[in-house]
C-alpha cells in the first residue's frame, strides 16, 4: 500500500498548504462595507481604500459594480497576525 500524497508532503518537511478562506455563503463569514470596516479599525474610510489598493490588508470582494465588502474573518486573522508581529512586508530588515 502506497502512502498518501499528503502524508508524503508532511514527511518531506514542507509546510502544508493553507486552507482557503470560507466561501461567502459560509455561516461563519461576516461581510462588511468600507464604512463599517473603517469604524472597526479606527481609521477613516479613505485609509481603508488606500490600504486595500496598496495590498496592505486582505483584499475585498466585489459583489457588484458598486458594492465592495471585506470578510471579517480575514480581517480578524490579519489583525491577529499584525499583533503577533507576523507582517513580513514590514519586518525589520525586509528589503
What tens digit of pLDDT does each residue of 22-51 get?
555 555 679 999 999 999 999 999 999 999
Better pLDDT: 38 or 20: 38
Question: According to the model, what pLDDT value does residue 93 have?
Answer: 46
Cell of 87: 507582517
- Domain locations in the chain? 29-84
Continuous H helices in 2-95: 5-12, 34-41, 45-53, 72-83
- Confidence label for 9 from pLDDT (cuts 50, 70 and 90): very low
Tell me if 37 sits within 8 A of 68, measured CB to CB.
no
Rounded distance between C-alpha atoms, residue 77 and residue 44, angstroms: 21
29-84, what's its fold? Arc Repressor Mutant, subunit A (1.10.10)
Q: What is the pLDDT of residues 59-88, one digit of tens each?
A: 999 999 999 999 999 999 999 999 988 655
Rounded distance between C-alpha atoms, residue 30 and residue 79, angstroms: 15
Amino acid at each position: 500500500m502506497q502512502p498518501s500524497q499528503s502524508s508524503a508532503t508532511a514527511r518531506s518537511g514542507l509546510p502544508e498548504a493553507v486552507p482557503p478562506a470560507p466561501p461567502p455563503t459560509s455561516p461563519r463569514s461576516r461581510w462588511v462595507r468600507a464604512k463599517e470596516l473603517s469604524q472597526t479599525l479606527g481609521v477613516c474610510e479613505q485609509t481603508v481604500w488606500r490600504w486595500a489598493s496598496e495590498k496592505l490588508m486582505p483584499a475585498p470582494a466585489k459583489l457588484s459594480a458598486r458594492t465592495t465588502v471585506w470578510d471579517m474573518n480575514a480581517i480578524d486573522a490579519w489583525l491577529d497576525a499584525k499583533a503577533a508581529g507576523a507582517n513580513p512586508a514590514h519586518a525589520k530588515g525586509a528589503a
